Amino acid sequence: MFTVKQLSKMAGVTPRTLHHYDNIGLLKPSRIGDNGYRYYGEESLLRLQQILFYRELDVPLDEIKKIMGRRDFDVLEALQNHKAALQKQSARLTRLLATVDNTIEY
């Protein structure tokens, strides 16, 4: 189990972000301790990874919630789609870098 602080550090997000995701029902903690602290398990960690991939693609939080809340949501398919989108983005950035290099040489 991970605390909010531990999970936020691992994922590169703020604790406030995790609290917000909990408040909107996007990422619920695995359990809440007697002290009121949120604790996240491995399943939550994997769900957060999916959320962050969608955020990287500029998908709004309410849309992410709809996508991930569908009964037919397939994690493997989602990862394959993320990979394809990131490869497109990488190719676009490579072309932009080549254009900048060509302009510098000119």
pLDDT, one tens digit per residue, over 5-18 is 999 999 999 999 99
Q: What's the confidence (pLDDT) of residue 9?
A: 94
Q: What's the confidence (pLDDT) of residue 91?
A: 97
End-to-end alpha-carbon separation of the chain, Å? Answer: 56
47 in Cβ contact with 68 (< 8 Å): yes
Average pLDDT over residues 25-31: 94
Q: What's the confidence (pLDDT) of residue 57?
A: 85
Average pLDDT over residues 67-78: 91
Q: What's the confidence (pLDDT) of residue 56?
A: 87
Q: How confident is the model at residue 33 (pLDDT cuts 50, 70, 90)?
A: very high
Q: What's the confidence (pLDDT) of residue 75?
A: 87
30-48 as b/e: b if 16+ CB within 10 A: eeeeeeeebbbeeebeebb
Q: What's the confidence (pLDDT) of residue 60?
A: 95
pTM for the structure as a whole: 0.78
Q: What's the confidence (pLDDT) of residue 100?
A: 97
Helix pair angle (75-105, 42-56), 10° resolution: 40
